[in-house]
């Protein structure tokens, strides 16, 4: 009996403890969103979230969800209803901290959205500016502006580009760290001002200070460098002075100097060329020419420096009789059009035989962006020399052809250099296709096949290939028809060998006197 009473007392104590813990938990749960719940009662449209679930809302808020056809008590329901008016609400809810967030409507209305977080609970309320806590909004706005201002100050202060501000008198009011770094680098220079001096590093902006915006390039000599540093400075005028931004332009200046030097080098090189040069851009206007073009064509400098078109240059050349005269004007024009097209493709090359006897080799070469260049080369001397050589060769060949003996010339390498008509007729060598297909070995086999065996051909081979001092020699061979032929080899200039073939003449018959006894008849009588 006593044991049962003890069991009842233990059960009662356990129940009391459990009830006490439950009451405490419910009290804490009711106290956590208590402040948020009290604030909800003062708002027309307000929601209270615990995590992702809606745990409380005002009547107007419930009506707003029902009008939108949404019955789910979830955060996504609020986002679906309010996001069209207040932007990306999901990201705002994910990123908001302990500080309240105030969002204004993006549709131009006076609505605003207030988001307050307390632990896992979030209160979202919608109202109008007339109903809003103006002091709270102003405080939040001021804090936001101060944060943004602090960020902007850090950005400008740590920017790698020099920035500074001057008043209307040109005195320095503010500068960033990059500006002061350059000022420190110029500390030992005569033009360097003190770090906190009112005189800026660049103080000659009298012409640009009155403009709304201006750009200029200026140099600054530092103590560590022998050459000045260049900067591109952009200036913007304000009501209280001017803002200046300087970017490093050293690489641009060096590139421009290198380009200028390269162009000057090319210009000097072109000026010393004996070949006339004319470069036309893609608009068919003369862009560059050298002095040799003036000397060769007779065109004046004023005309060419005016950047004439290709047609104008060709017309002027035709007027001065520096072009081959065509049969008619139409074909002449068509020829120039074809010349321009061929030059762009890099395939134009032609000899211009001028009326005064001069000969120009005109070559076209393409350039980038549709431009092309024409090269004028005076080859009159070359053509004259070629013609003289050709005349001398033809004269020498005609002389050889009038010699009755068969004559052939071989080089030191054994190549056939020259032969006359008598040689071709004797040995059956057809020189109409040129002499490059024949050499001494081929001709020796031909000579051996037409004559009886003899050492003359071996001796002739050794004589032709001998590199030292040689003496002329002569020997005789017998042809397969019984005729005796004499071969004479002579060394000539350049290590070449001249070989002459001629037949032995038969002895002339002698006339005996009638009174002289004929030995043949006397022998017959005996």
How much of the chain exceeds pLDDT 90, in percent? 8
Q: How far apart are CA 331 and CA 324, in angstroms?
A: 12
| The pLDDT of residue 408 | 92
- Which pLDDT band holds residue 31 (cuts at 50, 70, 90)? very low
Task: Report the distance separating Cα 285 and Cα 192, nearest Å.
Answer: 49
Confidence band for 517, pLDDT divided at 50, 70 and 90: low
Average pLDDT over every residue of 12-23: 48
**Structural domain spans, the chain:** 31-147, 158-253, 273-378, 404-503
Q: What is the pLDDT of residues 173-187, one digit of tens each?
A: 888 888 888 888 776
Tell me what the mean pLDDT of segment 202-226 comes to: 68
Q: What is residue 262's predicted lDDT score, i.e. its pLDDT?
A: 85
Q: Which of 447, 371, 373, 379 is nearest to 408 (CA)?
A: 447
The three state secondary structure string of 174-236 is EECHHHHHHHHHCCCCCCCCCCCCCCCCCCCCCCCCCCCEEEEEEEECCCCCCCCEEEEEEEE
Q: Indicate the burial class of 70 (C-beta count within 10 angstroms; 0-12, 13-18, 19 or more).
A: middle
Query: Residue 195 pLDDT > 60, yes or no?
Result: no
pLDDT band of 506, cuts 50, 70, 90: low
Nearby residues of 423 by Cβ (< 8 Å), 6 or more positions away: 406, 407, 408, 429, 501
Max CA pair span of the chain:
205
Residue range 246-258: average pLDDT?
88
- In the three-class reduction of DSSP (H, G, I as helix; E, B as strand; rest coil), residue 156 is classed as helix
DSSP letter assigned to residue 406 = E
Look at the domain 31-147 and name its fold: Beta-Lactamase (3.30.450)
Q: Which of 43-47, 86-90, 112-116 has the weakest average pLDDT?
A: 43-47
For range 338-356, the mean pLDDT: 76
Q: What is the mean predicted confidence (pLDDT) over 239-248? A: 84
Find how far residue 121's CA is from the centre of its chain. Answer: 62
Q: How far apart are the first and last CA of the chain?
A: 202
Ranked by mean pLDDT, the top range of 85-99, 215-229, 447-461, 495-509 is 447-461
Q: Which two tokens stand for residue 67?
A: 């009008």
Query: What Å distances lie between residue 131 and 42, 110, 181, 293, 410, CA to CA?
Result: 10, 10, 52, 87, 119
Task: Summarize the confidence of residues 4-29 as an average pLDDT.
Answer: 46
For 122, how many CA atoms within 13 A lie in the half-sphere containing its CB? 23
pLDDT at 292 over 50: yes
Fold of 158-253: Beta-Lactamase (3.30.450)
**Tens of pLDDT along 389-442?**
888 888 888 888 888 899 999 988 888 888 999 998 898 888 776 666 788 888
pLDDT at 17: 44
Helix, strand, coil tally for the chain in percent (to 5): 40, 25, 35
Q: Within a 10 A sphere around the Cβ of 13, how many other Cβ atoms?
A: 10
Residue 304, pLDDT above cutoff 80: yes
pLDDT over threshold 60, residue 29: no
Give me the sign of the Cα torsion angle 54, 55, 59, 63: positive
Which burial class, exposed, middle or buried, applies to 472 when counting CB atoms under 10 A from its CB (0-12, 13-18, 19+)? Answer: exposed
pLDDT of residue 108: 66
* pLDDT mean across residues, the chain: 77
* 8-state DSSP, 370: G
Indicate the DSSP class of residue 514. T
Exposed/middle/buried for residue 55 (C-beta within 10 Å: 0-12, 13-18, 19+): middle
**pLDDT of 436:** 65
d(CA 424, CA 372): 51
What is the topology classification, in CATH, of domain 404-503? Answer: Beta-Lactamase (3.30.450)
Higher per-residue confidence, 105 vs 442: 442
pLDDT at residue number 505? 67
C-alpha to C-alpha distance for 389 and 466, rounded to whole angstroms: 29
284: tokens are 């068919």
Q: Of residues 385 and 197, which shows the higher confidence score? A: 385
Instruction: Dump pLDDT digits (tens) for 447-456.
Output: 999 998 888 9
pLDDT score recorded for residue 409: 92
Res 329: pLDDT: 63
Domain 273-378 CATH class label: alpha beta
Residue 25 binned pLDDT confidence (cut-offs 50, 70, 90): very low
Helix (H) or strand (E) holding 522: helix 519-525
Higher-confidence residue: 286 or 145?
A: 286
The β-bridge relationship of strands 497-503 and 484-491 is antiparallel
134 Cβ contact partners less than 8 Å away, ≥ 6 residues apart: none
Query: Is 28 within 8 Å of 116 (Cβ atoms)?
Result: no
- Which helix or strand (DSSP H or E) is residue 521 part of? helix 519-525
pLDDT of residue 134: 47
Name the token pair of 235: 């200036």
Could you give the dihedral angle defined by the CA atoms of residues 348, 351, 352 and 354, in that order, rounded to the nearest 10 degrees?
170
């Amino acid at each position: 009996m006593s044991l049962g009473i003890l069991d009842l007392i233990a059960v009662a104590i356990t129940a009391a403890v459990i009830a006490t813990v439950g009451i405490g938990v419910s009290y804490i749960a009711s106290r956590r969103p208590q402040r948020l719940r009290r604030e909800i009662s003062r708002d027309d449209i307000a929601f209270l979230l615990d995590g992702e679930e809606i745990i409380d809302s005002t009547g107007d808020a419930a009506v707003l969800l029902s009008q939108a056809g949404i019955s789910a008590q979830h955060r996504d329901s609020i986002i679906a209803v309010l996001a069209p008016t207040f932007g990306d609400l999901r990201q705002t809810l994910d990123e908001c901290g302990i500080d309240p967030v105030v969002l204004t409507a993006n549709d131009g209305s006076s609505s605003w959205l207030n988001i307050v977080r307390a632990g896992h609970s979030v209160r979202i309320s919608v109202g109008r500016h007339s109903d809003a806590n103006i002091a709270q909004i102003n405080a939040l706005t001021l804090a936001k502006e101060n944060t943004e201002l602090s960020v902007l100050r850090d950005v400008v202060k740590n920017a790698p580009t020099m920035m500074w501000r001057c008043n209307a008198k040109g005195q320095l009011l503010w500068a960033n760290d990059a500006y002061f770094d350059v000022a420190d680098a110029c500390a030992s220079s005569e033009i360097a001002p003190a770090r906190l001096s009112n005189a800026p590093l660049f103080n000659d902006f009298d012409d640009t200070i009155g403009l709304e915006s201006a750009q200029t390039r200026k140099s600054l000599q530092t103590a560590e460098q022998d050459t000045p540093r260049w900067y591109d400075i952009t200036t913007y005028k304000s009501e209280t002075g001017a803002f200046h931004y300087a970017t490093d332009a050293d690489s641009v200046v060096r590139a421009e100097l290198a380009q200028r030097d390269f162009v000057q080098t090319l210009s000097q090189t072109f000026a010393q060329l004996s070949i006339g040069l004319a470069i036309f851009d893609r608009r068919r206007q003369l862009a560059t020419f050298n002095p040799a073009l003036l000397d060769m064509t007779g065109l004046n400098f004023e005309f060419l420096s005016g950047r004439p078109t290709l047609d104008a240059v060709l017309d002027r050349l035709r007027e001065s009789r520096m072009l081959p005269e065509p049969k008619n004007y139409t074909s002449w024009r068509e020829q120039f059009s074809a010349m321009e097209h061929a030059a762009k493709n890099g395939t134009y090359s032609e000899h211009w035989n001028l009326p005064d006897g001069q000969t120009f080799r005109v070559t076209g070469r393409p350039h980038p962006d549709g431009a092309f260049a024409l090269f004028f080369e005076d080859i009159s001397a070359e053509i004259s020399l070629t013609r003289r050589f050709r005349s001398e060769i033809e004269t020498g060949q005609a002389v050889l052809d009038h010699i009755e003996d068969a004559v052939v010339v071989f080089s030191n390498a054994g190549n056939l250099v020259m032969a006359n008509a008598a040689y071709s007729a004797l040995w059956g060598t057809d020189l109409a296709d040129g002499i490059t297909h024949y050499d001494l070995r081929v001709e020796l086999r031909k000579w051996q096949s037409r004559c009886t065996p003899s050492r003359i051909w071996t001796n002739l081979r050794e004589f032709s290939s001998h590199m030292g001092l040689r003496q002329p020699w002569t020997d005789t061979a017998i042809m397969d028809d019984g005729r005796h032929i004499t071969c004479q080899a002579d060394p000539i200039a350049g290590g070449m060998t001249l070989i002459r073939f001629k037949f032995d003449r038969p002895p002339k018959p002698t006339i005996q006197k009638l009174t002289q006894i004929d030995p043949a008849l006397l022998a017959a009588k005996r």
